[in-house]
Structure 1
Amino acid sequence: MTPDHISLHNKQFEPYLSAAQLSEAVQTVAARLNQDYAGQTPLFVAVLNGSFMFVADLLKHITLDCEVSFIKVASYQGTSSTGEVRELLGLTEDLQGRPVIILEDIVDTGHTMRRLLDTLAEKQPASLEVATLFLKPECLQHELSIRYVGLSIPNDFIVGYGLDYDGLGRNYPDVYKAV
């Protein structure tokens, strides 16, 4: 049962998106990836920590041969982006000539994604795309072409389904927004 509100640190959150809505969005993204990459063996690069639930659920619906790698970057402190991206844990696979899809939980300002795209493009993949569960179009501060978007959402601060507020809230199967 979904709580009618949750409290994390000093903030209150109310239900926003149910686990069923999230599952439908994930399956839609997976279906498009399966279609677009049929006959290929893409490398999925999952951005930790927030994407872990999205990635786990997405991969259950991927019917392609694929590889998965994880990287960890950070640009958030509290409820807002610092604008500074720090790569914390790197990628060891050779990307040259391979189709690469970055898997991200949420793209808002685009600072992290711009840095990742620039960094990974230097490794000369055959193609480089982004699949994100959430996109906040009104927050974007960079010109980004994001081909696979589960849900476009307004500029609300959200937690749950892998997303956190200073470390708390990732474990909820539903998504909540700050009130």
Structure 2
Amino acid sequence: MLQPVFKDFLAFLKNPTKSDSYTKMPARSFLGLLIVVLAFAIPFAFLMDWLGADQFDSIMEQMLAENKLQVVFAVVFLAPLLEELIFRLHLDLKITSICWGLGMSILMISQQWYVTAVFVVYLVYLLIRVMRQQPPNLKFVVFISSTFFALIHLGNFSNFELADHFYWIPFLVAAQFFIGLILSYIRLTHGIW
């Protein structure tokens, strides 16, 4: 179960391609990717704890303590829906998808505004390239999109100061970057839904 989906994912990372027609994702593939994520995330969480990343307060933990039901709804339903439209819809390099991403990115302005500003510039760049019928390399698009997806999650830490803790960035967002790559693989192989 794990080996074929992992091989497909690694091949995708080397040379991302968009499926000509999307197929439903088999449950075995979903479970395989879930195992891959957990195999990365769990040891990484222990490493982060060992490195001292627990010095940064998690906004999600604070919110969960105050409003469990609202946070569960936001994390399970609302955030994934918005994040997929913002960070992965444009991966098909269609003008309408990029425009949707631009419009939806306005919802991120209050969270990490400087990341959002650069992300908007990136989407405008994509839009111009696609309109000129000169789309950039899909590998570039997948990795840049995953990078922005990771960076926007710096907003999950209430006491993270960019100027004081910039060296922590790769560690704090590595898991989100990896998950962004997996979600990009799913998006381009099985569609946005």
Structure (1 or 2) with the larger CA radius of gyration: 2
Q: Which of the two has greater helix per residue?
A: 2
Specify if TM > 0.5: no
Structure 2 length-normalised TM: 0.34
Q: Which of the two has greater strand per residue?
A: 1
